[in-house]
Homo-oligomer: A and B are copies of this chain.
Amino acid sequence: MNRRVTIADVAAEAGVSVATVSKVINGRDGIAATTATHVQGVVERLGYESSLVARGMRTHRTHAIGVLVAEFEPFSTEILKGAGAAVAGTGYAVLAYTDADAGPQGWERRYLSRLGGTLIDGAVLATPTLDNPPGTVPVVAVDPHTGPGVMPTVDSDNLTGAVLGVQHLLDLGHRRIGFLGGRRDLESSVLREAGYVQALLDAGITPDPALMRGAGYRRDAAEAATAALLALPDPPTAVFAANDVSAMGILDAAARLGVRVPDELSVVGFDDIPESASTTPPLTTVRQEIQQLGATAVRLLLGLLDGAPDAGRTPHERLPTRLVVRASTAPPAR
């Protein structure tokens, strides 16, 4: 594995100083045209490209923005797609980072300390678990932690979305509707639960605590919780899950227990990740525009970076949600 070619190699080869090479590369003036051409040639010939890292260390500007995620899963990769689209033409690169071994709590703090200032000019945090980021670089949160909201934020209208989902079930005639909650530390999860409760209340139904379980936005936890729900003396005829991944867990449980969806059990998810269309049966779900979430976050961040550094209050953008009816919901059998 031959060594990477550095600016020193170029300088030596061209017979000039590294400073001169640097100036040529960065288009600084005060360089003879002939020298510039000559150096350019050597750069080309050696295939030299300056190290993002070394440059970043000196200038504290890398023109890269970080998208920091706990894990690459359907939600975060949709954010990535949106973020990537939003930087096109801005001169910024997108750097997505995840460290599987970082632990579930406070990863964003660690990531930010490790990358901020030297590697990325700013960051988009996907579903952060904290709400007081270290003040290293400008940050925008997507689908944030519950809390006072000190970070610029973009999220979806989770409350209305949840109401929509549950209302759909009510309209079909369901009365015993279960709920599988998400990560309690995320505002989205709290609001989706609130929407569930509100929709029931509006329909004159008192929420039954026995029908409300936590599943932490996780598929396996959702499967277990569903099994418990279905083992109840008077089981629900429908379940609203706080996200699509949990809804898939419900489908897993139903399949395992021989409960037919939607005939015996209706299921509504939340998110509309691409995967939700290929479940068996395809999932009825509340769609949020995840790519838009990512793109909006990037635009906010770019504003923070280039424009006025947070002129006034911390911005908050909220995107609409809507119901997508597929095949996992039907009127109750009984």
| A residues neighboring B (CB under 8 Å) | 1-5, 47-54, 56-57, 64, 71-74, 77, 80-81, 83-84, 87-91, 93-102, 109-110, 113-119, 134-138, 273-278, 282, 309
In the bound assembly, the distance between CA atoms of A138 and B134 in angstroms comes to 34
Can you add 7 more A-B contacts, CB < 8 Å, to A95-B95, A277-B278?
A52-B114, A64-B97, A74-B81, A89-B101, A93-B99, A274-B277, A274-B278
Interchain CB contact (< 8 A) of A91 among B90, B91, B101, B277: B101
Interchain CB contact (< 8 A) of A98 among B47, B90, B93: B93
B residues in contact with A96, CB < 8 Å: 72, 80, 94-97
B residues in contact with A309, CB < 8 Å: 1
In the bound assembly, the distance between CA atoms of A255 and B328 in angstroms comes to 26
Closest A-B pairs by Cβ, 5 of them: A277-B278, A49-B113, A274-B274, A93-B99, A72-B84
- Among A64, A89, A99, the most chain B Cβ lie within 10 Å of the Cβ of A99
Smallest CB gap from A116: residue in B = B4
Question: Given A4-B116, A48-B113, A135-B1: A87 and B73 within 8 A (CB)?
Answer: no
Smallest CB gap from A137: residue in B = B1
B residues in contact with A48, CB < 8 Å: 113
- Among A1, A3, A83, the most chain B Cβ lie within 10 Å of the Cβ of A1
| Shortest distance between the CB of A46 and any CB in chain B (Å) | 9
Interchain CB contact (< 8 A) of A47 among B1, B74, B134: B134
B residues in contact with A51, CB < 8 Å: 113-115, 117-119
In the bound assembly, the distance between CA atoms of A53 and B277 in angstroms comes to 41
- Among A64, A77, A116, the most chain B Cβ lie within 10 Å of the Cβ of A77
